[in-house]
Amino acid sequence: MSLEQFKNRNVGTQNYKTLDLDHTPVTGMGQFKQVVSRTFKPELFVGLWVTFREMINALFRGKMHTTQYPFEKLPISPRYRAIHDMLRLLESGHYRCIGCGLCEKICISNCITMDTQYDENQRKEVSEYTINFGRCIFCGYCAEVCPELAIVHGPRYETASEQRASFSLFEDMLTPIDQLNLQQEYQGFGAISPNADENIKKTPLAY
């Protein structure tokens, strides 16, 4: 194995680059000039005209383009990738995740982490699971790689919150046990293809 990583002891130096931006005016006169030139450009009136035209269209000609969010919501595609859901097995209600760590491994922004342990039933138990939504780019790889169809992207795109951490724990993502009957099978990346049966060979069994 390569020993290079152990030979780099320069942990304290970073390689930052500064952007080459226009200078901000420093004198009072310079600032004043900038305000005047920005305020009285003709583009302002073009924008005002468009707004006025559309207002007339919407109010008097019945041509409304906007959806009355949050009272109305547009339907989203089943392949839409929003905040993740953790699904349960329909039969037993147990969570599907087996703690294999493939989502953790494939995650390109390194935002999934899980802790696993040996439980009293001699099974692998997921003791903690978290997604750092500050880093997640909703690429969908985790859902695609999951062998148990356990982690999927849900339809919940309203992610405004005081803290992003509010979505990120296992319990937050897991289907509530009393809503198990409402659990939807995911149709996006990683879902079983309609012709899956044709593509697999069967393993013979002795019984």
Partner 1 sequence: MSEVQTVENMVSITIDGVDYKAKEGEYILNAARANDIFIPAICYLTRCSPTLACRLCLVEADGKQVYSCNAKVKEGMEITVSTPDILAERRAMMEVYDVNHPLQCGVCDQSGECELQNYTLELGVDSQSYTIQDTKREATNWSSVLHYDPGLCIVCERCTTVCKDMIGDAAIKTTKRGGEALDKAWKDEMPKDAYAMWNKLQKSVIAPSNGTEHTNCSDCGECVAVCPVGALVSRDFVYTSNAWDLKKIPATCAHCSSGCQIYYETKPASIEDRTEKIFRVTNEWNYVSLCGAGRFGYDFENRTATKDATTFAAAVKAFKKAKVINFNSVITNEEALMLQTLKEKLGVKLINREARAFQRFLGFYSEASGQSLYSLDFKEVMATDFVMSVGSSLRNDNPNARYAFNNVQKLNKGAGLYFHPVGDTLVPTFGKNIEMFAHKVGHEEAALLFIIKLFADQDKLPSSVKEQLDSDFVELLGGDTAKFEKSFEKMMKKKESFSLMVGEDLYFHEKAENLAKLIAVLEASSEVKVAMIPPKTNSLGVALICDLDDEAEGYTIGYNESGDFKLSALGDGDLDMPAMNQQEGTLTNMHKRVTPTNAALEYNGYVLNDIVREVASAPKETIMWTEHLPVSKGFKAVEFDSLPNHYTNDGVEHRGYLLESTSVEVEEISVDKFDDSNALEGEIAYRCNPQRQFNDFSDKAHQIFEGFGLYTSPAKAEALSSKVEVEFANGKLTLDVIVDERMEGDIVAIPDFKSAENIYELFAGSRYQTVTIKEV
- Of 138, 144, 130, 131, the closest CA to residue 81 belongs to 138
Does 12 sit near partner 1 (CB under 8 A)? no
Which residue in the set 33, 73, 123, 135 belongs to the binding site for partner 1 (CB under 8 A)? 123
Q: Say if residues 170 and 128 touch (Cβ distance below 8 Å).
A: yes
Does 109 sit near partner 1 (CB under 8 A)? no
Looking at residue 95, the DSSP 8-state letter turns out to be B
Q: Residue 139 or 145: which CB sits closer to partner 1?
A: 145
Helices (H), the chain: 4-7, 28-39, 43-60, 102-106, 141-145, 170-173, 196-199
Nearest distance from residue 100's CB to partner 1, in Å?
3
Does 6 sit near partner 1 (CB under 8 A)? yes
Does 116 sit near partner 1 (CB under 8 A)? yes
Q: Which residues contact 176 (CB under 8 A, 6 or more apart)?
A: none
Which residue in the set 117, 161, 184, 187 belongs to the binding site for partner 1 (CB under 8 A)? 117
Q: Which residues contact 140 (CB under 8 A, 6 or more apart)?
A: 81, 153, 188, 189, 190
Which residue in the set 12, 42, 75, 204 belongs to the binding site for partner 1 (CB under 8 A)? 204
Residues that bind partner 1 (CB under 8 A): 1, 3, 6-7, 9, 98-102, 104-105, 113-118, 122-125, 128, 130, 147-148, 201, 203-207
